Amino acid sequence: MFFRFLKTCLLLSVLPLLGGCWSQINFDQLTVVSSLGLDLNPDKRLEVTIQLVNPTLPISAGGGNQQRRSIATYSAVGATVEDALETIRQQAKKSLFFPQTRVVMIGERLARKGLDGVMDYFWRNQYQNFNSFVLISKEPVRQALGKSQELQAVPADEWKAYLESKYYKSLSGAIELYQFLPRLNQSGYAAAVPGLRSAESYGANQRIMAIEELAVFRHERLVGWMNSDETQMVSWLSGMAKSGSFKVKIDEGTIISFQMNPVAVRLTPVFDGERITLKVKMVAEAGIVTSTAELNLADPDFNRKLVRSLTDHLQRQTEHTVYKLFRTYRTDSIGFGETIHRKAPSKWKKLKKDWEERLKTIKVEPEIKVVMTKSGLLIEGLITKDDEEKK
């Protein structure tokens, strides 16, 4: 009885100690990091820039005529990412909240120098949002994050919405942090990241950012860029997207825009001694969206011509894109090496040692099948020019 009473007293004496939390942080000292940027400053030192969400007051609290921006940016130079962030914490006088980070932006200058040792920070930060999207900025990250203006108050929200969109996925080549980090050290599936730059049609006082082109990596270093059509083909070949669009020139002055959905692609390796062939089987359903000239779709011969023109265009684009990756940049951003790893693991064990050199010798054989499913505005078998009135 005495021992039971003693245990009860001991438990009661511990209760007051449970009322607090050793890691408690006041909410007024916490601010959300919407974007985290990494770059090299003019002195070639690591520069970290963060874009913080700057909450605005509701109108009822007197915030109706506020002029301040919804974001605030801070930059600092440091030997490591954490070193620079500690300086920013002192500047902002806030605790930084990373689980809601939308975008991780890397400057082209830093990416071309190499990310070796820089990205270790993300593996070690237990509060990092690995679903953040990754972008490569063609201009200094400090300018891109500090002066960007979008429809949404927080630019990172606009970029995230664009990269999440299934409609734009094939054009953007969107990649998240959890996908990007492992590919920096993979030979069989190299990283490829969407690019970001200022739109050329806007002045210095209105910096609207455009997400376009694709930065391709060889291990931890950026080695080149793919244009919009090549980006879309990389998205299809890697299985990252299942739809898209293409413009094809049929005759002189006749350009037709096709919407393609779905697009199914299968990569198959074929081995003949030391020779490797990449067979690409693509099946796509296509529909006409717009045309610059009148089209007589009631003519079976013309329909066959359309299918043949689109098929030839896709075949040429497939060969061009793969050869540019394999022979020009010597990188495998479509994951062909991983395909071999899955289908012929014993072969891959021998190939992976000098995979980058073998890429230059791989032959590509596309097999394209296009099925026309719909033709946009169909009136008695005719599609006319946009905005053309029939007389």
| Residue 57 reports pLDDT greater than 50 | no
> Which whole number is the average pLDDT over 48-67?
66
Tokens of 279: 């067979």
Percent of the chain with pLDDT over 90: 67
Per-residue model confidence (pLDDT) at position 5: 59
Cα angle 286, 292, 293; round to 5: 100
The better pLDDT of the pair 15, 300 is held by 300
Per-residue model confidence (pLDDT) at position 66: 52
Among 8-12, 39-43, 119-123, 139-143, the range scoring the smallest mean pLDDT is 8-12
pLDDT tens per residue across span 304-362: 999 999 999 999 999 999 999 999 999 999 999 999 999 999 999 999 999 999 999 99
How far is Cα 158 from Cα 243, in angstroms, rounded to an integer? Answer: 22
| Residue 211 reports pLDDT greater than 50 | yes
Name residue 190's amino acid: A
User: Which residue reads 């734009």 in tokens?
Assistant: 168
Strands 30-40 and 95-97: parallel
Per-residue pLDDT band for 373 (boundaries 50, 70, 90) equals confident
Among 57-71, 85-99, 303-317, 374-388, the range scoring the smallest mean pLDDT is 374-388
Per-residue model confidence (pLDDT) at position 60: 44
How far is Cα 163 from Cα 173, in angstroms, rounded to an integer? Answer: 8
Per-residue model confidence (pLDDT) at position 381: 46
| Residue 386 reports pLDDT greater than 60 | no
Collapsing DSSP states into helix, strand and coil, what is residue 7? helix
| Residue 291 reports pLDDT greater than 50 | yes
Per-residue model confidence (pLDDT) at position 14: 57
| Residue 382 reports pLDDT greater than 50 | no
Percent of the chain with pLDDT over 70: 83
> Which whole number is the average pLDDT over 209-228?
96
> Which whole number is the average pLDDT over 219-236?
97
Ordered domains of the chain (ranges, CATH): 29-58+66-226 (no CATH), 231-391 (3.30.300.210)
Collapsing DSSP states into helix, strand and coil, what is residue 275? strand
Mean pLDDT taken over the chain: 87
pLDDT tens per residue across span 95-148: 999 999 999 999 999 999 999 999 999 999 888 999 999 999 999 999 999 888
How far is Cα 301 from Cα 293, in angstroms, rounded to an integer? Answer: 17
> Which whole number is the average pLDDT over 268-285?
96
The rounded radius of gyration (Å) of the Cα atoms in the chain is 27
